[in-house]
Structure 1
Amino acid sequence: MHLPTLIGGLSAIGGLAQAAATSPVIEADDFSITGALQDLGVDVSQIPALDSFAAIETRSTDKACAAACASLSFIFGSKVSAQETTGYNNFTSSFWSVQQEEVQPHCVFRPAKSTEVSTAVLLSRLTGCEFAARSGGHAAFTGASSAPDGISIWFKDMNAVALNADKTVASIGPGNNWLTAYAALEPHGLAVIGGRASSIGVGGFVLGGGISYHSNLYGWSCDNVESFEVVTASGLIVTASATSYPDLYWALRGGGNNFGLVTKYNMYTIPSPELYGGARTFLEPEFPQVINAWINVINNATVDGKAQQYVAFLRTQGMNLASAELTYVKNDPNPEIFKQYRNISAISDTSSAKTLVEYVEYLETENPFGLREVYWPISAALDERFANWVVDLFYSMVPEVADVAGAQPVLIYQGITEPMLNNMKNHGGNPLGLAGSSGPVHLLHISCWWKNESDDKTIYAFVNKFMEKVMAEAKSVGVFNEYVYMNYASMFQDPIARYGADNKAQLKKIAKKYDPREVYQTLQPGYFKLDGPPVTPSF
């Protein structure tokens, strides 16, 4: 296995911070794209593909992207892969969901440093060719991190993991997934607040929030970032922190890809002892007891923050099952907080002691590649009667997709606990709109995979119908919460709008400041934008 380079030293983490602190961020009205490229050592007059190409401001065209990709190839050579090449096929074949694999960009660009990312963004602006950026590529819908007919920026080669001098901050490149990040830090006895499955990319996970095994102790991933290195729309590279560009720092902690391309995540480190956990599986008669235990663990997070859990409800081989993934961030096989679960009769239990690397590798088996996928979340106040009602509804509706080839719908329950909510107030807060919640939040979502594109609308309509019923019930009994978790959101949802009107307005104001010509809204249209969902429902 190839692991990222581990480099010591403060310079690896904050090298551009001083320059960023003194450089203008807001684009001047007379901003020159060619001038900015010239500052990066790119003379556009020397690029053959641009000789006769007139800059355009409209949607990407074949001509625009042919010029952009040819220009990147002229400058960077083998770092650019055209269609029907090995490098290109390696990119398209390595996505988690088939919907992402199906996207055909005009070219794939693998930058090795931040200034090369700046060049790609500026060439996109110069030509009008759309782009997308990929960290792990773990989204469940078309175009989230690959640009149809455009430039797909693959961060794969920006995979360094560095520690500062006292090892309190790890600088993690966006080319890492959580397996490579954890594997680089584990020899030091350290980790960061990151994902729970190995192939999930660092980038999208952090920018959308990021629930971790350690979140009851430290909060979500976005709330444990010391600073972000960001390529702005003008190609300028800035370091955003609580003291340097604090508005941009706030926006990036949940605001997604709307403000720039993050080329370095500088994250606070935590100790990484051995964990204990696994899946404990129950039959249907035990479901009410399981839900009661799930609620009590959420409420007891204020007493013991070492516990993390989620419960998955599914039907397999004719049986209705509840699988509770119970993780304790210490090698303790029977902590008090999980005793209620242990006292419920189970048909299987995979719990064991695991390192963090071993744990994310184990959980990866629950997220198979090569299938069509959808995730779809909502939120509600924690309420036992409501939680039981939703489970009953789920199993009553599962037969509606029983004849869809390969379909496996799963209802997953998690809790946003009071310690998590309290940690969202750290370092100036975040834009998620959750910190004011009056008590724990029930985060529920449908995960479903299936085989055939011809069944897409059937699955989307099924999940939408289920969620509409759930939302109606939640509103009826007074437990509905507006929040939508970006990292699980379907392409038909608008997470930014669910952060609250004030936070959305503030995010738009910040985006306008750092990206006055809306490059990251119009030329990078994939994923969740500030003004609506990626796709308007058509089922």
Structure 2
Amino acid sequence: MSVSVTTMYRLLRSVLVLAASAAALRLPSHAQTRHNPNTCELLNTNMPGRVIFPTDPAYSAAQSSYYAGQARNMHPGCIFMPRNTEDVSQFIKTVRVRTGWDAKFAVRGGGHTLWRGAANIDDGITVDMRLINGTTLNADKSIASLGAGGRFGAVYHALKPHNLTVLGGRVPSIGVGGFLTSGGMTFLSRKEGFACDHVISYEIVLASGDVVNVTKTSHPDLWLALKGGIGNYGIVTRFDVATHPDPGMWYDLVQYNHTDAVLEAQARAFSSFMTPGNNFDPDAMMGIFYDYAGGQFFVRDALWHTGAVANPPVYNNFTSIPNMGSNGQVLPVADVVDQFGANIPPSTPRAFQLDWSFINPPAEIYMEIFQLFKNGVPALADVPGFFVEFLTQPQSVIQPGTESLFGLENNRTDYAMMLMTAAYANPADDQRVRDGITEIVRSMRGLLRRNRYLIDFVYANYADQTQGVYQSWGADNRAKLQAASIKYDPDRIFQTRASGGLKVF
């Protein structure tokens, strides 16, 4: 079949028009080859050596170092590891003007918080603070400056040659930053209150990228808000904390057979220990560990006394209960933490925990609570790898004149706290374990509430994200936390961009 010249001309013209139109729609040649870097790549260009990408061997090492599987199983687009405060400032200045998934971030210190997203993130950037970890003393050794990425095991050992200590975590792997911005229960809690009450100043990078030194006089509202405000106001890079003498601490871990008689004796001993006027000893801190694993129950008492007293009589009601023996001794705080920490697994596949506080009740109430645990936990026994630790301990005694947003009365010695932590093997059991533990705790809290012993306060360091921590501190205190957030982070960077921590809004 033949085609006329006119027809061929029309076809050729159509092709040329289409080609010209396509060329007009295409970007210039230099734009076709230019790559628009994401935030991770931009950080790597501006601060080389600070960014770890998923293809780097260090990425897997960093991810595997989290305590709980919920955090280990997240996948940030990159990990940013600042070496100093200026690096953190440059990070904030970079991400605050970016938008999209790649400008979201989480801040990681010790990486010990259990719930997903507390200190890690999917797709965004995890700011791993662990290289900012120094411990230094001022001239008269009254103040220790702690890098926010440090861990308390290292802090205690740095202070040990000076016969000094600070109020910190009771396990070596507990991170400085998360612990001190969440409150902090310590060996000295009955004598000195919460660890955050002994922070003299904070070095913090605000949402603007500005570096500010926060003290009670320079920024009183922010200083108060940081005593429990976690990551709502910026990234703290240094804590200046008061030091305390370390004459040695009595530490004993006493083990008992699991019987109703032992539980009843523990209930009587703890209720008496917590009763105001019963020879209160501010150096005495302890905890009853009622655990379940492998189909069996275990009962242990951890006894700490910061007065360097061997076999302190304040614990006689506990040590006189028939037991399986102990090996108490007076040691420096650093060595006590090492020994006690050896009883804590370095990591867990999955975990879930809840805490609650209350006014010390009679022994009968404690025994009812122990029975609720004993009767409720076996329903989860067939969950692979299932283990539960149920801890009963005194609450911190906030010292007279101390400013706090926790909603607790100062100088009360009869506040107690319970914590239930479940560990297990598989993500498939997340909801079942959460529901089972929540139901047991609900029954315990209900018992305390009906008898008017339960209080609202939820301790942030141990809390799950569902527990309404800031609501539990009272409306007025929450309003102060929110006002500080509006003032120091008006663009809500740490409310909307930072995934981790508990939010004041």
Fold conserved (TM > 0.5)?
Answer: yes
Matched, 1:288 2:264: yes
Q: How does 1:196-215 map to 2 (within 5 A)?
A: 196-215=170-189
Report the counterpart of residue 304 of structure 2 in structure 1. Answer: 327
User: 2:456 aligned to 482, 485, 493, which one?
Assistant: 482
In the alignment, which of 146, 152, 164 is matched to residue 178 of structure 1? 152
Measured in 2, the distance between the counterparts of 1:443 and 1:249 equals 26
Distance 1:318 1:492 in 2: 29
Q: Equivalent of 1:404, from 380, 383, 386?
A: 383
* Preserved contact between residue 110 and residue 156 of structure 1 (Cα < 8 Å): yes
Q: Matches of residues 43-442 of structure 1 in structure 2 within 5 Å?
A: 67-128=38-99, 129-283=103-257, 284=259, 285-299=261-275, 303-316=280-293, 318-368=295-345, 369-384=347-362, 385-416=364-395, 420-422=397-399, 425-426=401-402, 429-435=403-409, 440-442=414-416
Instruction: Name the amino acid aligned to 1:276.
Output: W
Of 331-340 and 194-203, the range deviating more from structure 2: 331-340
Aligned residues: 465
Instruction: Please state if 1:454 is matched with 2:428.
Output: yes
**Partner Cα separation in structure 1 for residue 254 and residue 178 of structure 2:** 29
Cα distance between partner residues in 2 of 1:359 and 1:411: 21
How far the C-alpha of 1:317 sits from its partner, in A, is 5.4
Looking at structure 1, the residues matched to 202 and 169 of structure 2 have their Cα atoms a distance apart, in angstroms, of 18
Question: What CA distance in whole angstroms lies between the structure 1 residues aligned with 2:122 and 2:475?
Answer: 31
Give the Cα separation in 1 of the matches to 2:391 and 2:280: 24
Residue number in structure 1 paired with 2:22: none
TM-score, scaled to structure 2: 0.88
- Contact kept in structure 2, 1:301 and 1:307, CA below 8 Å: no
Instruction: Kindly provide the CA deviation profile for residues 138-192 of structure 1, in whole angstroms up to 9, marking residues without a partner as x.
Output: 0001111112111111111111111111111000001210011111111111111
**Conservation of the 8 A alpha-carbon contact between 2:348 and 2:423:** no
CA distance in 2 between partners of 1:103 and 1:515 (Å): 27
Query: One-letter code of the match for 1:518?
Result: R
Give secondary structure in 2 for the equivalent of 1:264: strand
Report the counterpart of residue 498 of structure 1 in structure 2.
472
Partners in 2 of 1:521 and 1:52 — Cα distance?
A: 30
Asked if the contact 1:422–1:435 (Cα under 8 Å) also holds between the matched residues in 2, the reply is no
SS in 2 for 1:157: coil
Any unmatched runs of 5+ in structure 2?
1-30
Measured in 2, the distance between the counterparts of 1:160 and 1:316 equals: 38
Q: Partner letter of residue 168 of structure 2? A: G
Deviation at 1:491, TM superposition (A): 2.7
Residue in structure 2 matched with residue 525 of structure 1 by the alignment: 499
Instruction: Please state how far the C-alpha of 1:319 moved relative to its aligned partner.
Output: 4.1
Q: Which amino acid aligns with 1:321?
A: F
**Which residue of structure 1 lines up, in the alignment, with residue 442 of structure 2?**
468
Question: Residue 509 of structure 1 aligns to which amino acid in structure 2?
Answer: A
What is the rounded CA distance, in whole Å, between the counterparts of 1:464 and 1:310 in structure 2?
22
Deviation per residue, 1:23-62 (Å, 9 max, x gap) = xxxxxxxxxxxxxxxxxxxxxxxxx9xx886xxxxxxxxx
Partners of 2:426 and 2:411 lie apart in 1 by 40
Task: Report SS of the residue matched to 1:166.
Answer: coil
Matched position secondary structure for 1:312: strand
| Offset, 1:355 | 2.0
Query: What one-letter code is carried by the residue in structure 2 that aligns with 1:71?
Result: L
Instruction: Answer with 190-199 or 336-345: which moved more.
Output: 336-345
Distance in 1, Cα, partners of 2:165 & 2:411: 29
Work out whether residues 136 and 175 of structure 1, in 8 Å CA contact, stay in contact via their aligned partners in 2.
yes
> Measured at CA, do residues 318 and 145 of structure 1 come closer, stay the same or move farther in structure 2, by a change above 3 Å?
closer
- The 2-side partners of 1:367 and 1:373 are apart by 13
How far, CA to CA, are the matches of 2:240 and 2:271 in structure 1? 34
* Alpha-carbon distance between aligned partners in 1 of 2:263 and 2:308, rounded to the nearest angstrom: 27
Contact 1:124 1:523 (8 Å CA) reproduced: no
**Matched residues in 2 for 1:200 and 1:389: separation?**
32
Residue 302 and residue 217 in structure 1: after superposition, are their counterparts in 2 closer, same or farther (change >3 A)? farther
Larger Rg: 2
8 Å Cα contact 2:107-2:128 kept in structure 1 = yes
The CA distance in 2 between the partners of 1:302 and 1:200, in whole Å, is: 32
Secondary structure in 2 matching 1:196: coil
Greater mean alpha carbon deviation, residues 475-484 or residues 302-311: 302-311
Do 1:216 and 1:301's aligned partners in 2 also have CA atoms closer than 8 Å?
A: no
Encode CA deviations 1:313-345: one digit per residue, 9 max, x unaligned.
123455433211001113322112111112111
Q: Counterpart of 1:294 in structure 2: which amino acid?
A: F
Structure 1 residue 354: deviation in Å? 2.4
Once residues 376 and 94 of structure 2 are traced to their aligned partners in structure 1, the CA distance between those partners, rounded to angstroms, is: 49
Confirm or deny: 8 A CA contact 2:231 2:500 kept in the other structure.
no
Root-mean-square deviation (CA, aligned residues, Å) is: 1.8
- Paired with 1:452 and 1:383, the residues of 2 have a C-alpha distance of 37
Q: 1:200 to 1:391 in 2, by over 3 A?
A: same
| CA gap 1:264/1:430 in 2 versus in 1, 3 angstroms | same
Question: Which digits, 9 at most, give the CA deviation of each residue in 1:362-421, with x for residues without a partner?
Answer: 22233311421112111121102322211110110011110001111121101115xx12
Instruction: Report how far residue 70 of structure 1 moved.
Output: 0.7
CA contact (8 A) 2:407 2:474 kept: yes
Identity of aligned residues (%): 28
Q: Deviations over 1:265-319 (max 9, x none)?
A: 1000000122121211223221121122223333468732111101111234554
- Give SS of 1:353's match: strand
Change in CA separation of 1:317 and 1:233 when aligned onto 2, cut-off 3 Å: closer
